[in-house]
């Protein structure tokens, strides 16, 4: 997956539609909003809370920047390289496969 694909998914964000139960107060403060960011990105806010969250974002540059930073964080964490598989380990794993197959064929 390229970072652009990942970015697209992060930006869409909503693949986990489980609503959280506790309602948040009518007007969100910035300090409350930052605690809800993960629930927002996971699609776990109720429709009302999501509306409040987005209404706050519309009027608050600081919180928009914060949300972008969290999205950037997810992107950066995703950029941590995967280690290449050590060829010796691969051969060990293949050896256990051959062992398994020879027993199975008996």
Partner 1 sequence: MGSWPVGLPDSTEEARSRGWCRWTKAAAESGRTDDAGLVEALRQGDEAAYRALVDRYTATLLRLASMYVSNPEVAADVVQETWIGVLQGIDRFEERSSLKTWICRILINKAKTAAQREGRTISFADLGDDEPAPAVDPERFHDQGPNRGQWSMPPQEWDRPEERLLSKETRAVVERAIAGLPTNQRITITMRDIEDLSPAHTRSVLGISEGNQRVLLHRARTHVRAALEAYLSDVTETP
> CA–CA distance from 13 to each of 16, 39, 89, 96 (Å)?
9, 10, 36, 41
- The CA distance from 65 to 19, in Å, is 25
- 14 is an interface residue for partner 1 by CB under 8 A: no
Q: Does 13 bind partner 1 (CB under 8 A)?
A: no
Q: Nearest approach, Cβ of 101 to partner 1 (angstroms)? A: 5
- Are the CB atoms for 58 and 41 separated by under 8 Å? no
Q: Would you give the end-to-end CA distance of the chain in angstroms?
A: 41
- Site map (CB under 8 A) of partner 1, residues 77-96, x = contact: xxxxxxxxx---xx-xxx-x
Q: Is 45 a binder of partner 1 (CB under 8 A)?
A: no
Q: Which residues bind partner 1 (CB under 8 A)?
A: 1, 3, 6-7, 15-16, 18, 20, 29-32, 34-35, 37-39, 42, 44, 60-63, 65-66, 68-70, 72-85, 89-90, 92-94, 96-98, 100-101, 104-105
């Amino acid at each position: 997956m390229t970072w652009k694909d990942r970015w697209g998914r992060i930006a869409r964000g909503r693949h986990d539609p489980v609503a959280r139960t506790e309602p948040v107060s009518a007007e969100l403060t910035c300090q409350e909003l930052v605690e809800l960011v993960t629930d927002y990105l996971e699609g776990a806010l109720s429709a009302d809370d999501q509306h409040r969250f987005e209404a706050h974002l519309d009027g608050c540059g600081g919180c928009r920047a914060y949300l972008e930073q969290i999205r950037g964080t997810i992107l950066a964490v995703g950029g941590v390289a995967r280690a290449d598989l050590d060829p010796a380990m691969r051969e060990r794993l293949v050896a256990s496969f051959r062992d398994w197959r020879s027993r199975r064929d008996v």
